[in-house]
């Protein structure tokens, strides 16, 4: 996790509020223009609050600002008509409710991976880690989130500006090509009614793989510690996880051709990043048959900044008033 120092910007008379509401944690900050206001960053555990409105009220009380000029909230779920029912949390977020609470006439909701896509142009060198080098030769980039949930968003540089459409691709079917993968897919299908990419590649998916391989129950944090200790059971789990992740990334690469690079983001991505290459990520990512000629030139990075989605929200707001 990056302890980022937001770039300072001259305080506007009324700042904007930006939020990244994930399945487990929420991050909030004040923004002036396209920069986050120093000292305004806060992280909350969602389990400590009954609703997003209660959490936001706490943040506004702590921030003690007289007024706000706008709000942009990145949420872990599909947004329709200014509202979302979050995928991995029993919260509803509505732009009209946030507008009444904040007094903002301008409130925008977007998917959290869209916000990460809008943050790509703001990332500084110390806020990324490169796993696979490549030539950033294209105008299309891809962000893939691994955490409580799984999703991706493609970011297109166009003459009209940056365009980042929403996606819910974590809910696609999980491809299974060998006995271990088929055993996992069958187990997930019995549990959930369908075996999806998110069910295998999220934090709980990592634990499901460990269990299906016969290694018992665990937590993502314990598994990452065991990987660091080179424990055989954890390495077997990590190898299957990495194989599935690499195939998912390779499939997305062939769909979108992100020759500008792929960025992994989210708590699980950051935790697993030191181990992915050793677990075979590169070979599996390029194992695309004739399509491998396309994936071999695509760089793969990890976003180390835990607050990147907030910067993406601020950048989006700034472009609307430019």
Residue 2 has pLDDT above 50, yes or no: no
Sign of the C-alpha dihedral, residues 214, 217, 219, 225? negative
Stretch 81-98: mean pLDDT? 90
> Encoding tokens for residue 61?
């009380």
Looking at residue 13, its pLDDT comes to 66
Provide, rounded to the nearest whole percent, the portion of the chain with pLDDT above 70.
Answer: 96
Looking at residue 3, its pLDDT comes to 46
Class of domain 125-303: alpha beta
Residue 11 has pLDDT above 70, yes or no: no
Stretch 131-158: mean pLDDT? 93
Where exactly does CATH 3.30.420.40 map onto the chain? Answer: 16-118+307-321
pTM score: 0.92
* Mean pLDDT computed over every residue of the chain: 93
Q: Which CATH number does 16-118+307-321 carry?
A: 3.30.420.40
Residue 106 has pLDDT above 80, yes or no: yes
pLDDT digits over 170-221, tens only?
999 999 999 999 999 999 999 999 999 999 999 999 999 999 999 999 999 9
Looking at residue 198, its pLDDT comes to 97
Q: What is the dihedral of CA 249, 251, 257, 259, to 10 degrees?
A: 30
3-state secondary structure of 116: helix
Where exactly does CATH 3.40.367.20 map onto the chain? Answer: 125-303
Residue 17 has pLDDT above 60, yes or no: yes
Nearest to 315 by CA among 66, 75, 114, 28: 114
pLDDT digits over 234-285, tens only?
999 999 999 999 999 999 999 999 999 999 999 999 999 999 999 999 999 9
């Amino acid at each position: 996790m990056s302890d980022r120092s937001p770039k300072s910007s001259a305080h506007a008379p009324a700042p904007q509020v930006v939020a990244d509401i994930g399945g487990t944690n929420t991050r909030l900050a004040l923004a002036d223009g396209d920069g986050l206001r120093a000292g305004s960053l806060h992280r909350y555990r969602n389990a400590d609050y009954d609703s997003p409105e209660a959490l936001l009220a706490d943040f506004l009380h702590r921030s003690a600002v007289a007024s706000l000029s706008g709000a942009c909230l990145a949420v872990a779920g599909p947004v329709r008509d200014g509202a979302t029912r979050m995928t991995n949390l029993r919260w509803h977020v509505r732009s009209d409710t946030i507008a009444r609470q904040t007094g903002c006439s301008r409130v925008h909701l977007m998917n959290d991976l869209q916000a990460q896509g809008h943050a790509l142009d703001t990332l500084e060198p110390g806020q990324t880690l490169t796993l696979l080098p490549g030539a950033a030769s294209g105008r299309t980039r891809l962000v893939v989130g691994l955490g409580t949930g799984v999703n991706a968003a493609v970011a297109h540089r166009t003459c009209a500006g940056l365009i980042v459409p929403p996606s819910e691709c974590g809910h696609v079917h999980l491809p299974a090509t060998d006995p271990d993968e088929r055993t996992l897919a069958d187990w997930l299908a019995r549990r959930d009614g369908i075996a999806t990419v998110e069910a295998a590649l999220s934090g709980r998916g990592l634990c499901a793989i460990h269990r299906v391989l016969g290694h018992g129950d665990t937590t993502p944090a314990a598994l990452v510690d065991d990987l660091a200790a080179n424990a055989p059971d954890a390495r077997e789990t990590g190898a299957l996880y990495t194989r599935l992740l690499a195939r998912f990334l390779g499939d997305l690469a062939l769909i979108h051709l992100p020759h500008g690079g792929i960025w992994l983001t989210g708590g699980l991505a950051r935790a697993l990043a030191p181990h992915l290459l050793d677990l075979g990520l590169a070979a599996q990512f390029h194992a695309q048959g004739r399509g491998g000629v396309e994936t071999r030139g695509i760089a793969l990075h990890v976003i180390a900044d835990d607050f990147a989605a907030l910067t993406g929200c601020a950048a989006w707001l700034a472009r609307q008033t430019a």
